[in-house]
Amino acid sequence: DFEGTTIGLAFLKSICSDLYSAGIIQDHNRNEIAVAATMAHEMGHNLGMSHDTEACSCSDDICIMTDTVSSVIPKEFSSCSLQSFEKFMLADMPKCLTDIPELSSIVAPPSCGNGFVEKGEECDCGAPEECTNECCDPESCKLTSGAACAHGDCCENCQYKKSGSVCRAVKHDCDLAEMCTGSSSSCPEDRFRVNGYPCNYGEGYCYMGTCPTRDSQCKAAFGPQATDGPASCYRMNERGAYYGYCRKEKGTHVPCKKKDKMCGKLFCSGGREMPRDGSLVTFDSCKASFPKSGEADPGMILDGTKCGNGMVCSQGECIYAEEVFRSTNCSAKCSGHAVCDHKLQCQCEEGWAPPNCDSSS
């Protein structure tokens, strides 16, 4: 049993963890809405959301990720919660939320008519009275005569789309388009530009499908009006204090070497008064966040962030990108019209058909 006013507990950013994707709730409130709010709060932690601070807001007086219990039942996530979730999705790319699960991973027994294609089913368009898919027999969950498929981004008029048809368009600088294979109804796994590919007009390098820059990290921390702080701010990282350092070793703040000072604490200007996570420290036109006691520091510059020409941050050091990514001339090893992706595998350029990428779609 929980003690005091605690009614729930969950691990942060654990939604895709085999061991920690869970929340414990012990709420004896007779109001179902109140219990639902507690459940949403704990799931919020699983999805990367920390408790709200005074800088957070929603249309109600209290938002779902509040750290206090009151008679008012929160019904909305705050602006901070939405930013935290967006950062979690972009920075951590939790695989269980971005992929289509394998049929073999679904634990529940198959049930024809529930709208989910499960083990032993070729399709599932719902109950007979609601099925509008001419490719699928709702009674048997089998494909109709002559149909090769019934669902999927690469299925059209009950047949596979031709090889090379774009099924997932490019979304940003560090993304690659995915093309149908001509032999499957599913769009291939989402792939990204090779790590180290220049992005955001040369301001950054692609890293695991994102384009981390100090400017974008400041906007995530202090709002859209925030910008990267002046270069003079980063001299603080050479001091080795809680407000300026490169890494921690056995609880000690290790100062940055001069060459690494752009890979330690993130310094920003403008934007909201308080950071989204942690507490605030300011001096001159520089401001940064530092964590509450015992928590991970949310205000450190992310790995993969550009810190010089051809150089990126890696664990508090500014290192040549090639040493970190090992991707030099990777695309030269690909045949046809293919380029290297973030997993150092060859992927067809948009408009060229897999698997050989030598014929246009």
Q: Please indicate if the annotation marks 51 as binding a ligand.
A: yes
Give me the pLDDT at residue 354, please. Answer: 82
Torsion-angle region of 95 (φ positive above 0: left; ψ -120 to 50: alpha; else: beta): alpha
Using a cut of 0.75, tell me whether the model's pTM lies above it: no
- Are 132 and 165 in contact by the 8 Å Cβ rule? The answer is no
Q: For this structure, is 42 an active site residue?
A: yes
Show the CA angle centred on residue 89, arms to residues 298 and 191, nearest 5°: 125
What gap in Å lies between CA 53 and CA 222, rounded to an integer? 13
Higher per-residue confidence, 109 vs 156: 156
Residue 216: what pLDDT? 94
Strand partners for 290: 279
Q: Is 45 annotated as a binding residue?
A: yes
Closest C-alpha among 178, 164, 163, 193 to residue 339: 193
* 134-142 own/partner pairs: CB under 8 Å, 24+ apart: 134/158, 138/112, 138/113, 139/112, 140/112, 141/110, 141/112, 141/113, 141/117
Spot the catalytic one: 3, 32, 42, 203.
42
Share of the chain above pLDDT 90, in %: 53
303-320 pLDDT tens trace: 999 999 999 999 999 999
Encode pLDDT of 177-225 as tens digits: 999 999 999 999 899 999 999 999 999 999 999 999 999 999 989 989 9
CATH 3.40.390.10 positions along the chain are 8-97
Report the CATH fold assignment for 8-97: Collagenase (Catalytic Domain) (3.40.390)
pLDDT for residue 264 is more than 90: yes
